Amino acid sequence: MEKLDSIIEDEELAGDARMTGTNDFGVRLQCEPKPTSVHELRPQDIDVVGAMGDSITAGNAAEATHMIGILREFRGLSWSAGGDDTMETSITLPNILKKFNPQVKGYSTGTDVRTRDLWFNAAIAGARSSGIPGQARELIGRMKNDSRTNFENDWKVVTIFIGINDLCALEKDPVGASPESYITTLEEGLDILHAELPRTLVNLVEIWDIHLLQQVAHGYGSTPACRAVQAAECNYVSTANDTEIEVIKAFNDEYQRLTEELIATGKYDTKDDFTVVIQPFIKDTVLPYTENGEVDSTYFAVDCFHLSNKGQALAGMNLWNNMLEPVGSKTTVWGIKDLKCPTKDNPYIFTNKNSNQQSSNDIMKHGEIMNKKATTTTKKPAVTSPAQTKPTVVCSETCSQVVPDWGIALLVVTGVVLLFQLLVVICITSRKRSKPKEAEVYNNGIAL
């Protein structure tokens, strides 16, 4: 009897094993080969996302409705690492990438300690640049030990945003918050990633103009409570006088300059499967404005310091758009824009190397002489606040081509000619001193 029971049990186990089918093999249909170079990386090739930084990346206060809520981490809504919901309801970099590769992994989800999944979002609230080397080691450790991903073969995009808390500490810790200290520890963290993380593109997002916090504290949607909390979180900047603001601006600019100088050395372009690209979409910061011309503080959380869910989405959109813009021609002004799409001519995420190649192709294509430096170093222009419009999500399976420069020039010339012809007709008609006939006006749209 015992022998029979044993036989039956063996047969049941064997049956269970048979029922698992091909799931046992971890098979994935992939008709196009993965690239071997980071400079040929397309959105659909990205398998894993990760992030490093401070409370902005941790998603602190994103959906907070009261001041206690600023301590909550809404990691699933993080602009660079959050994966809650879909792109239609939460515009984050991972949710955009899901449109190209539904199997992308590594994004953080949920809120609070018991319900969240950090996965590869290694950001720590309150972190300064000195914490980046530790976060780099933590991120690598997580990736190596994660059974859901393939450390050696998966293509990874890691986004780093750090420096706000450094600038807030300028008064209390002038040495530790100096531009030299900032770039030294940032470089140390990037060196660790470069040495130990295969198949990786690092988005290095430049620090924003933090002195504008004072305007946020008095914009549409701000409150006396938010001003008080902002002063507690970043007192030196929030309460700075005109002289101190100039000092903060100078340090802010130096952070940016040294960051650009570091990446321009090319030290992170020595391997074919790794690179660091500066994404400068908030370098020349222009705050969002309402239709009435007020700073729109609803893009910031209830403390007028962190980003609200709407602000997180705006950052996610602009990060994505920067990734699809060539180095040297990247947008440096934070604003609401339609999501860009890869094109047939430019299917890759732009890097320092393939941006140079694209510039060469443009010269051959259009016969234009272009003299663009492969760096994001620019003098900050005087900018005005753009009118705010609802962002349009346009990235799908097929995307429209951008009108080339020669096409725009052709449209301008055509417009001038038509205007000239219209003036001639008006003159002739006036001379005849006759009542003009009613004319139908047609608006010719150009489908892009």
Q: How far apart are the C-alpha atoms of 214 and 240, rounded to whole Å?
A: 9
Given the residues 166, 209, 296, 303, the one annotated as active site: 166
Handedness of CA 220, 221, 224, 227 (dihedral sign): negative
Angle between helices 179-196 and 242-264 (to 10 degrees): 30
Burial group, residue 95, by CB count within 10 angstroms (0-12, 13-18, 19+): buried
How many other CB atoms sit within 10 Å of the CB of residue 369? 6
**Exactly one of 39, 284, 306, 359 is catalytic; which is it?**
306
Per-residue tokens: 129: 């640049």
The one-letter amino acid code at 142 reads R
- Burial-class residue 5 by CB neighbours within 10 Å (0-12, 13-18, 19+): exposed
Q: What's the gap between Cα 104 and its chain centre?
A: 17
Using a 10 angstrom Cβ sphere, with 0-12 exposed, 13-18 middle and 19 or more buried, the burial of residue 247 is middle
Please give the distance of CA 388 from its chain centroid, rounded to a whole number.
Answer: 19
Closest C-alpha to 221, from 120, 313, 289: 289
Distance CA 1, CA 9 (A): 12
Q: How would you label 202-211 residue by residue, b for 16+ Cβ within 10 Å and e otherwise?
A: bbbbbbbbbb
DSSP 385: P
Burial 216-231 (b: 16+ CB within 10 A, else e): bbebbbbeeebbebbb
Q: Tell me whether residue 55 is one of the annotated catalytic residues.
A: yes
117 noted as active-site residue:
no
| β-sheet with 156-161: strand ranges across | 48-53, 156-161, 200-205, 274-279
Task: Give a three-class secondary structure readout of 303-331.
Answer: CCCCECHHHHHHHHHHHHHHHCCCCCCCC
The one catalytic residue in 55, 78, 90, 222 is 55
Q: Is-contact 121 76, C-beta < 8 A? A: no
Q: What is the residue type of 321?
A: N
Measured CA distances, 435 to 210, 428, 432 (Å): 62, 12, 9
Question: Which residues form the catalytic set?
Answer: 55, 166, 306
